[in-house]
Structure formats: structure tokens, C-alpha cells
Amino acid sequence: MLFSRNKYTTFEQRQNMKLAIIGCTGLVGNVILDVLNEFSLPITEIILIASKKSIGKKIVFRNEELTIISIEESIIRKPDIAIFSAGSSISEKWALKFADNGTTVIDNSSFFRMDKTIPLIVPEINANEIKKSHKIIANPNCSTIQMVVALNNIHKKFGLKRLVISTYQSVSGTGVAAVKQMNDERAGVNGEKIYPHQIDQNCFPQGGDFLENGYTSEEIKLIKETQKIFNDYKIKITATVVRIPVIGGHCESVNIETHKSFQMNEIIESLKNSSGVKIQDNPAKFDYPMPITAHHKNDVFVGRIRRDETVKNGINLWIVADNLRKGAATNAVQIADYIIKNNLL
């Protein structure tokens, strides 16, 4: 299987380029394959890894039948890049073993994100932090990624002082089991419950585990990851995470206070010039971002752009993205793309 070599000046020096996907049968793993089908990475071999119950099963990719193998066997095959999408426990146990074997690991779990020695990367913002010596690279949380992509240019020009975030997150962010619970409820099936409450026709203010301070782990991720990605620990951030009964994407209402004053046209221009951002903001025609229209897209959509008239330098933004795409799979593939193009393996 040979991908396009266009724009890769260093690839000709290699005889082959192997990419492994750990957790290929999960929601994110499936989308990684979709995204790879759209990108032109110079990969000569894709290695698929899943749990023991899936070993030996076949997945068709670009008209080629690929066999799922064990994680132990995949290490022996020495992939150049491994994208982990199988949860923190798998990353904790196996990522360093891949890295010690010469593989560059892109980890979708939360396990390495706050490690000061490991870069937390959103390519549009801080890909230049990746060095050849980095054998593990952390992929941020899905809700963090879409927000920082939208806010990056605003932060660079006006400085973020404070963020008040309310998210409306797809249950797909929890994984296959949460989607199955919702679909079972819609079908009237009494199936396994991943959440303690009904998902369908409901919403509840919980994402992740509740901590001693009353926040959830998803809310703390938004706070700490944003500060790390922007390398600015003075930004004051508070967040409330809500799960909603949709599959196609995460929504965020973000109230922003900046250090410097601005004109609204400057905010619009900052968003227009932000890589990966599309403005969808025409309330008169009821045109604004929604999960149903962001589904299966790689962009971050921003609308409901308006000044917060209760503070000196305030803005309100509505930010929507497909959490399985830019929030996970697309961002990971973009990191791999950057690594290969810049000869960082």
C-alpha cells in the first residue's frame, strides 16, 4: 500500500514508512483510517492493533484487506509512528515500550498530557515544539483542541485574560459504550449503562470523574491543557462540561476577556486568519455552527460572535467541531504529517 509522496522531500531516503494504529476498532481508531484515506502521508504499511478479541479480524482499507494483530507483535514490526487510541491504561503500559524501540508515539489518551517533558501539540499552534528527541507526543483533549484553534490568534494579538467555558459535548467522546447506551435507549432496549442517567432526550453536567474540588476531570483538562498549549499559566479559566445526546460533535460557549482592547472587526479578522477555522455567523439567516453540520469535517466552526458588554474587553464565541475528527483523529494525523515532512523521526 503506497500513499502519495508529494511534498515529502525526505521520504525518498527511506525504503518504507510504517504507521501503527493501536485501538483501530474503537470510534477514534476507525476515524483515523478515514482521515488517513484523505491525507497524502507517504506510508507504505499500516499496522492495525486491537484487543485480543479482535486479533485476526480483517479491515478493508483502500481496497486492501488488513489483518489486526497483537500489540506485542506490532512492536516487533518496529513501526516508525504509532498512534495510540486505546485509553490511558494501554498508553501507560505500552507507549514507552514502543518509544524505547525507536517508534515515535502520538498518544490520544490523557496519560502523558501534563508531563512537562512531553509536548502537547495542536499543529496549527505549536508544532514547532516537536524535536527529533521527542519519542512521545501527546494529543490534547478533544474539547481543548477545538477551543485553542479558535482562540490562538486572539491570544497572540490581544492576550487572553480569562475564559469562562461551557461545553455541550457529544456522548461519542466517552466512546462506543456511551453511543450504544444512547442508541439502546432510543430503540427501547434495556442494555448496558455506561452513565448513571438516561442519555437520550437528556443532558447532564458531567464529563469524566468528579474530583474533590467539585470539578470533573474533563473540566480540569480544559483548564490545564489550554495553559500548557499556550504556554501561559496566568490565563484564568473556569469550565462546566455537559454531555448531550448527539454523536456528531462538541459545542462550546466561550466567554473571553482579553488584556488589550479591540474592535470587533479585529476579532473577525483574527478568526478569518486562523488556520483550521471557518466562520459561520449569519444569525439573520439562522446560520451558525451545529454538531449536525460539523459532523465528518476537519474544521473548527465559529459563530455567534459578539461583544460581551458587561466587561471592558469581552467576547462571546460559539465553537463547534467534530470531536472524533479535529478533536482526536485529524489532529493526530496532522502531527504525524508534520513529523514526516520535517524529518523528525
Asked if residue 303 lies in contact with residue 318, where contact means CB atoms within 8 angstroms, the answer is: yes
So what's the pLDDT on residue 302?
98
Q: How many whole angstroms separate alpha carbon 268 and alpha carbon 317?
A: 11
Q: Which of 142, 155, 251, 295 is catalytic?
A: 142
Q: Is residue 262 packed enough to be buried (19+ CB in 10 Å), middle (13-18) or exposed (0-12)?
A: middle
Secondary structure (DSSP) of 211-247: -TTS-BHHHHHHHHHHHHHHT-TT-EEEEEEEEES-S
Chain Cα centroid distance, residue 310: 32
**Cβ atoms of residues 300 and 321 within 8 Å:** yes
Handedness of CA 238, 242, 247, 253 (dihedral sign): negative
Averaged pLDDT in 10-residue chunks for the chain of 345 residues: 43 73 96 94 96 96 95 97 97 98 98 98 98 98 98 98 98 92 96 93 94 97 98 98 94 98 98 98 98 97 98 98 98 98 96
Contact status, residue 173 vs residue 87, Cβ threshold 8 Å: no
Reference 35, options 326, 277, 330; nearest CA is 330
Active-site option among 24, 134, 155, 250: 250
Q: Is 79 exposed, middle or buried (0-12, 13-18, 19+ CB in 10 A)?
A: buried
Cβ atoms of 222 and 238 within 8 Å: the answer is no
Q: Respond yes or no: is residue 155 known to be catalytic.
A: no
How many DSSP H helices and E strands does the chain contain?
Answer: 10, 13
The CA distance from 97 to 25, in Å, is 22
Provide the CB-side half-sphere exposure for 153 (13 A, CA): 15
Model-level pTM greater than 0.85? yes
Domains of the chain (ranges plus CATH)?
Answer: 11-140+328-341 (3.40.50.720), 143-323 (3.30.360.10)
Residues 6+ away with beta carbon under 8 Å from 190: 184
**Dist. CA 172–CA 25, nearest whole Å:** 14
Q: Give the bridge partners for 257, in sequence order.
A: 162, 314
Return d(Cα 165, Cα 237) in angstroms, integer: 8
Three-point CA angle 170, 146, 49, nearest 5°: 70
E strands, the chain, in order: 18-22, 45-49, 58-61, 64-67, 81-84, 104-107, 136-138, 160-170, 236-244, 250-258, 277-279, 300-308, 314-321
Residues 67, 71, 77, 83, CA torsion sign: positive
CB contact at 8 A, 229 and 140: yes
Q: Is 250 a catalytic residue?
A: yes
Q: Give the Cα separation of 297 and 284 in Å (integer).
A: 24
Please compute, for residue 161, the number of CA atoms within 13 A of its CA located in the half-sphere on the CB side: 11
Note the pLDDT tens digit of each residue in 70-121. 999 999 999 999 999 999 999 999 999 999 999 999 999 999 999 999 999 9
